[in-house]
Structure 1
Amino acid sequence: MDRSTSMYVDGTYYEELGAGEAVLLLHGGGGTVESWAAQAPALASQYRVLIPERRGHGRTADVDGPVSMEIFAADTAAFIEAVGLGPAHVIGWSDGGKVGMNLALSRPELVRKLVLIGTELTHAGGTAANQALLEPAGLEFLAGAFRPQYDALSPDGPAHFDVVFAKWVQMWKTVPDIEPATLTALPMPVLLIQGDDDCVRFEHTAEVARAIPDAQVAVVPGTSHGLPLEKPDLVNRLLMDFLADPQSPKFLPLGDLNP
């Protein structure tokens, strides 16, 4: 990824590209800045793109104590204020989408538009395969996938991986559901994107979309939970279209979103 700036603010590592309205990219669980290598340059052609790494991820040190989506959202709000962004477009992938939704609910004045990519908001909203990732074999797979990048980047050193991974597992198993009924007062437009072979049940996405006053939905064909990497050009086009103002008018709306 073409990096124009990399720096820390209040202990949080982030990278920045481009200029214009602020777009905040929130990586998934175990992810890093590199997760957005296919999106950041495209978005930076029109926007100021900032990619922070959450505590215990990538180049940002861990902090004593447990973690939660609410804590990560509070950290993200503090980051937005420390950098002086004001309201930003927030795009979250997987766990990053959960952090983004918690931020939108707790600090809506900081979120101009919100995008969730491959993000279920309730345990029941995830597919059976997604739920199986919290079983021993699934957790072994996740630890093996996340450890090499952690070992290479973490300022806490490779020996600390087991500590942060245990925190993530506890968070994933106990994360509170965000019920669709709590989304009816969201003031910002929201785009829900997922692959057609993703971790989110289609029925759940439809329920969430119907609850949000201003929602759009995109299911990307032939993709999985890795859709931003699998079909980056299509995902980037969806993101750019959604972030643009004004939105293209609908010619013949006959669907059942927000009836």
Structure 2
Amino acid sequence: MKHFLLAFFLSLPAAAQMKPAYFYQSIDVSAYPGASFTFEMQVYGEREDEESRTALTVIEYAGNRSVGSAQGGVTMDHFRENEWNRLSLSGTIDKRCTRLEVGAVFDGRAVFYYDDIVLKIQDKSGTHVLPLENTGFEGPDIKPWQLGNTPKGTQVSVTNLQAATGKQSLMADGMTDSPSGQFADVNGVKIYYEISGEGAPVLLLHGALENHHRFEHQIHVWTKNRKVIAVDTRGHGKSTLDTTTLTYELYAKDMSALLDLLQTGPVDIVGWSDGGITGILMARDYPEKVKSVVAMGANLSNDGIVDSLNKEMRFRLRQLEKTDPNGLEARVNRCMLTEPNIDPASLSKIHCPVLVIAGEKDVILESHTRLIAASIPGSRLLILKGQTHDAPIEAPYVFIKAVEDFWKQK
């Protein structure tokens, strides 16, 4: 890969000129001298700084000698953040070439996800899809893909946090070394959290099988005038997991203990999906620690979820029971299919300001969202027109404005 890495390195801004990390797989192309190739993959990016970037790579070898290379554009001008991008790289195979090394390079403070990798060869006989292995990263690890130049603080692994198709992708997380990141010993596990900004504290709680990076837009805006506490709940992100059965009451207990350790005093909570459920339970069960709650896409019981998602979760759990019954994804799916079990009448105990939000096209039934709002004294209800369960990332500034308007009025 050295030939390509030099080209990539020299194309970077001066501030970013360091050897990029990369992953690749080698494949025999000796049967296709002079043929054309097209190398494609789906890429999703969450970038903390503008100098972070990724690009596709194809290196041509004759034996162990590099005889050519192709690189994708290293500028990210047309890359759409927080959605899947189909990147493509085409060229002609040198007639001396016997194998290709195909993959991608990445650098900077960002989390990139890669999925659905395809290598096509076009010659006089037609188009051939070459048999790369583990192209959708649905296995337990990244093999036979190989890594290089992975810097300290960058984690590369298979993940279920994002997937273009299937259930998994390859994640290259270049933000694991955040100077604000720390671990807290809480209820038998280590909870990872990051604190940034100064001002009134706000606790951000993400959804199932996600992590604090899902709030990247909100963190960027709110750290300008708030102390933002962004958490990975137990088993998620960098937080550890024990054998305790997962429940939303346990998530709330963890967050209560974390706030005790941080000595923050009462906090505003912004919770999304599972995080919204946790926020509601904290307002009910730990009222002295909560100033207000924004609950986006929360539910009180499983019957508040649309049938299609429940069917998908049951199908996925049946698969996991055969392959990884004790893994995080199986345990979280069991939790979502059997929990929460919150009596709407119990929400009358909540006396702090609460904003209940859902998307017009949410996976939570609108009637259920309205039930939550009606059960909490003095709460406010907002249905985001045209939005889905993922409004915080699909329409981040609409979501941010709704939250900030609520904070001003409460």
TM-score by length of 2: 0.53
Alignment partner, residue 235 of structure 2: 56
Alignment partner, residue 89 of structure 1: 268
Alignment partner, residue 313 of structure 2: 134
Alignment of 1:76-225 (within 5 A): 76-137=255-316, 163-225=327-389
Q: Secondary structure at the match of 2:292?
A: strand
The reply to whether residue 7 of structure 1 matches residue 182 of structure 2 is yes
Residue 77 of structure 1 deviates from its aligned partner by: 0.4
Q: Distance in 1 between matches of 2:371 and 2:331?
A: 30
CA 1:4–1:234 in 2, change beyond 3 Å: closer, same or farther? Answer: farther
CA 1:139–1:21 in 2, change beyond 3 Å: closer, same or farther? Answer: farther
Residue 201 of structure 1 deviates from its aligned partner by: 1.4
- Percent identity between matched residues is 28
- Contact 2:299-2:340 at 8 Å conserved across structures: no
CA 1:139–1:99 in 2, change beyond 3 Å: closer, same or farther? Answer: farther
Partner AA of 1:234 in structure 2 = V
Residue 162 of structure 1 deviates from its aligned partner by: 5.3
- The farther-off stretch of 109-118 and 165-174 is 165-174
CA 1:139–1:82 in 2, change beyond 3 Å: closer, same or farther? Answer: farther
Q: Distance in 1 between matches of 2:309 and 2:296?
A: 15
Q: Distance in 2 between matches of 1:101 and 1:77?
A: 12
Residue 4 of structure 1 deviates from its aligned partner by: 6.2
The reply to whether residue 31 of structure 1 matches residue 195 of structure 2 is no
Task: Specify every segment of 5 or more residues in structure 1 that has no aligned partner in the other structure, as ranges.
Answer: 144-158, 248-259
Q: Distance in 2 between matches of 1:217 and 1:230?
A: 20
Partner AA of 1:101 in structure 2 = I
Q: 1:235 aligned to 394, 399, 405, which one?
A: 399
Residue 161 of structure 1 deviates from its aligned partner by: 9.3
Task: Specify every segment of 5 or more residues in structure 2 that has no aligned partner in the other structure, as ranges.
Answer: 1-47, 50-177
Higher strand share: 2
Cα displacement string for residues 182-228 of structure 1 (whole angstroms, at most 9, x for unaligned residues): 11121111101111110111111222212211211111122211110
Higher helix share: 1
Q: Distance in 1 between matches of 2:220 and 2:307?
A: 34
Residue 133 of structure 1 deviates from its aligned partner by: 3.0
Which segments of structure 1 move beyond 4 Å, counting only runs of 4 or more? Answer: 137-140, 159-162
RMSD: 2.1
Q: Distance in 1 between matches of 2:272 and 2:325?
A: 22
Larger Rg: 2
- Contact 1:22-1:47 at 8 Å conserved across structures: yes
- Contact 1:119-1:199 at 8 Å conserved across structures: no
